[in-house]
């Protein structure tokens, strides 16, 4: 596989395998195959056997295209819960006059994958945000390489979750005779596939609406600033339609795709869909306005959550390029109007287009292929992801220390040895942060309600005062009579 890079996307709707290569025109996807998922829930493998059979079939199809064996793959990472937090890092360089190299920065980043977490958790991505030296503050990665300095400071945004998510993927790959190259967060891969270079530089939020989850990645200055997973997706909308209308899940999915709208105001009034089974007998009926109302309610909840993620990231006012929506559930009618109204940013729909060579296989340009294509791009030409290569590291990330420790020492490591918080203290700290955040939200909501009540009271008082000043019918009548007498 020296010429090609293969990538597996373990999605809840589809498992997809893409293979690409570097060409003078960019990255060309030479093979793409997918199959309906089985044994995967919310991006997590729950049945190794079912997933293994799917992967084996996809590998066989790709190898037939390539006429070559596939030995290792990059895989997507997702799940119900993803945590993130900042991790400061101070590096004392042993030779202040030595140029800072790409390999030195890579070693520093690799060491973050051994951050202290709760039992059963692992770092998925460690993304450096900005660098600083004694002379310069807030340096980008490209500016940093080739500089000198005795102290190098940076803050990493680490994204972490259950180690079992990676372990189950490794088990499946082992059973298929494959090795793990890299494991990359799905929203980061999707962002790489569908975002343009100006969008990634100017600031953009990628929203990938999948079957079970909606994934968000915020990118600014070609750096991932935040990643979040919202536990609602297209399947949730389908379930809502089924529960409200009393029809089957299959009918709910079908009419959602064929007749669904995200805004009730655009639905045709007093029009019904009559459902007929194979025997031409009625399976039920659904009003188009009701269908749109159900879809709008759930999609509004999803976009409200997206807006919350953007606001909490601190980048709401810095997303010059707005919001880009992709994913298998992104083509509902009127989705752009609803998203624009609720998120308050300009919005566009996207699929892999300009990110790959025009000679790629046709299937690679479909919206369903975004994550798999992005995985290939990040494997061959890393831009957004800083995922480690597992073939160079143990799965336990034992080799977290730099290969050449003579280059620098790390103050954060020294401090952790003396005063490293226990797992219990870390849990307590996290619970306290969550409690404070919840209390803050309650206070903000209470304040909003108070302000709303005060506003209504003022308006009511103003209307009453205005009414008192206006002459009544009898005032006018008697006034006219008095004038006549005069």
Cα–Cα dist 113/398, whole Å: 9
**Burial letters 174-208, b for 16+ CB under 10 A, else e:** eebebebbbbbbbbbbbbbbbbeeebbbbbbbbbb
- Give the confidence band of 435 by pLDDT, cuts at 50, 70, 90: low
Does a structural domain hold residue 166? no
- Cross-strand pairs, 72: 179
Question: What gap in Å lies between CA 275 and CA 286, rounded to an integer?
Answer: 8
Of how many residues is the chain composed? Answer: 486
| 441 and 468 share one domain | yes
228-237, 349-358, 475-484: least confident range: 475-484
Phi, psi angles (nearest 5°) of residue 175: -65, -20
Say yes or no: 249 and 283 in one domain.
yes
Neighbours of 439 (CB within 10 A): 10
Residue 257 falls inside a structural domain: yes
Residue 216 pLDDT exceeds 60: yes
139 within 8 A of 128, measured Cβ to Cβ: no
- With bands split at pLDDT 50, 70 and 90, how would you rate the model's confidence at 416? very low
Q: Kindly report the CA angle at 465 between 461 and 466, in degrees rounded to 5? A: 115
Q: Where a domain ends, among 325, 349, 373?
A: 349
Residue 439 and residue 406 share a domain? no
Q: Whose structure tokens read 């103003």?
A: 462
Q: Please determine, for residue 162, whether its predicted confidence score (pLDDT) is greater than 50.
A: yes
Position 111 in a domain: yes
Q: Is the dihedral of CA 312, 159, 11, 119 positive or negative?
A: negative
For residue 207, is it within any domain?
yes
Residue matched to tokens 């450096």: 128
> Tens of pLDDT along 63-74?
999 999 999 999
The backbone torsions φ and ψ at residue 333, rounded to the nearest 5 degrees and listed phi first, read -60, 140
**SS3 assignment, position 128:** strand
Q: What is the mean pLDDT of the chain?
A: 86
Does 342 share its domain with 316? yes
Instruction: Give pLDDT tens digits for 292-318.
Output: 999 999 999 999 999 999 999 999 999
Q: What was the pLDDT predicted at 320? A: 97
Residue 414 has pLDDT above 90, yes or no: no
Percentage of residues in the chain having pLDDT higher than 70: 83
Task: Indicate if the pLDDT at residue 397 is higher than 50.
Answer: no
- Is-contact 74 184, C-beta < 8 A? yes
DSSP string across 447-463 = HHHHHHHHHHHHHHHHH
Question: E-assigned strands of 310-368?
Answer: 323-326, 347-349
In this prediction, residue 407 has a pLDDT band, given cuts at 50, 70 and 90, of low
Q: Average pLDDT, stretch 347-360?
A: 93
Stretch among 42-51, 233-242, 280-289, 380-389 having the lowest mean pLDDT: 280-289
Number of Cβ within 10 Å of residue 114's Cβ equals 18
Mean pLDDT within 44-61: 97
Could you tell me the two tokens for 201?
């530089």
pLDDT at 115 over 50: yes
Is-contact 160 122, C-beta < 8 A? yes
Average pLDDT over residues 379-397: 76
Average pLDDT over residues 432-438: 63
- What range defines the domain where residue 444 resides? 435-485
Share of residues in the chain with pLDDT > 90 (%): 69
Taking the C-alpha atoms of residue 450 and residue 206, their distance in angstroms, rounded to an integer, is 35
Q: Is residue 481 part of a domain?
A: yes
For residue 149, what is the domain's CATH number? 3.30.1490
Q: Residue 417 pLDDT > 60, yes or no?
A: no
Are 267 and 124 in the same domain? no
Torsion over CA: 360, 364, 365, 371 (sign): negative
Residue 286 lies in a domain: yes
- Reply yes or no on whether the pLDDT at 384 is more than 80: yes
Task: Summarize pLDDT for 330-347 with one digit per residue, the tens.
Answer: 989 999 999 999 999 999
Alpha-carbon gap, residue 8 to 34, rounded angstroms: 9
If DSSP codes are grouped into helix, strand and coil, which group holds residue 443? helix
Residue 238: CB partners within 8 Å, gap ≥ 6?
A: 249, 252, 253, 256
Looking at the structure, do residues 277 and 324 belong to the same domain, yes or no? yes
- Give the list of residues 6+ apart from residue 1 with CB closer than 8 angstroms, or none: 68, 69, 70, 71, 72
User: 357: which residues sit within 8 A by CB, 6+ positions away?
Assistant: 23, 25, 26, 27, 28, 29
Structural domain count, the chain: 3
């Amino acid at each position: 596989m020296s010429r090609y890079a293969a990538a597996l996307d373990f999605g809840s709707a589809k498992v997809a395998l893409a293979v690409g290569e570097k060409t003078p025109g960019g990255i060309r996807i030479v093979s793409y195959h997918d199959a309906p998922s089985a044994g995967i829930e919310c991006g997590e493998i729950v049945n190794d056997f079912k997933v293994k059979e799917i992967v084996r079939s996809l590998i066989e199809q790709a190898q037939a295209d390539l006429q070559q064996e596939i030995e290792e793959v990059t895989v997507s990472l997702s799940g119900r819960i993803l945590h993130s937090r900042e991790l400061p890092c101070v590096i004392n360089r042993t030779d202040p006059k030595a140029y800072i190299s790409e390999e030195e920065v890579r070693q520093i980043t690799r060491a973050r994958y051994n951050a202290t977490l709760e039992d059963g958790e692992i770092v998925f991505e460690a993304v450096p945000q900005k660098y600083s030296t004694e002379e310069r503050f807030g340096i980008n990665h490209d500016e940093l390489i080739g500089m000198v300095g005795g102290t190098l400071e940076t803050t990493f945004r680490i994204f972490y979750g259950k180690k079992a998510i990676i372990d189950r993927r490794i088990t499946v790959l082992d059973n298929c005779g494959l090795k793990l190259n890299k494991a990359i967060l799905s929203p980061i891969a999707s962002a790489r596939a569908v975002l343009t270079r100006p969008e990634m530089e100017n600031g953009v939020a990628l929203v990938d609406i999948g079957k079970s989850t909606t994934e968000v990645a915020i990118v600014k200055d070609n750096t991932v600033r935040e990643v979040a997973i919202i536990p609602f997706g297209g399947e949730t909308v389908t379930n809502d339609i089924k529960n409200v209308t009393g029809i089957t899940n299959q009918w709910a999915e079908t009419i959602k795709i064929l007749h669904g709208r995200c805004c009730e105001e655009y639905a045709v009034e007093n029009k019904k869909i009559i459902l007929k089974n194979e025997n031409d007998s009625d399976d039920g009926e659904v009003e188009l306005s009701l269908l749109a109302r159900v879809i709008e309610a759930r999609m509004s909840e999803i976009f409200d959550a997206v807006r919350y993620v953007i606001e909490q990231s601190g980048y709401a006012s810095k997303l010059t390029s707005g919001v880009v929506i992709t994913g298998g559930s992104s083509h509902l009618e009127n989705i752009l109007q609803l998203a624009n109204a609720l998120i308050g940013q300009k919005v566009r729909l996207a699929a892999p287009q300009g990110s790959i060579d025009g000679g790629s296989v046709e299937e690679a340009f479909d919206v369903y292929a975004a994550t798999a294509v992005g995985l290939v791009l990040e494997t061959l030409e890393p831009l957004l992801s800083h995922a480690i290569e597992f073939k160079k590291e143990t799965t336990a990330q034992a080799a977290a220390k730099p290969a050449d420790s003579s280059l620098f020492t790390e103050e954060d490591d020294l401090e952790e040895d003396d005063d490293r918080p226990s797992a219990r203290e870390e849990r307590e700290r996290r619970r306290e942060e969550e409690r404070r955040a919840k209390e803050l939200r309650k206070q903000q909501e209470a304040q909003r309600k108070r302000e709303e009540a005060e506003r209504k009271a003022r308006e009511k008082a103003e209307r009453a005062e205005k009414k008192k000043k206006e002459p009544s019918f009898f005032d006018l009548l008697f006034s006219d009579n008095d004038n006549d007498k005069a």
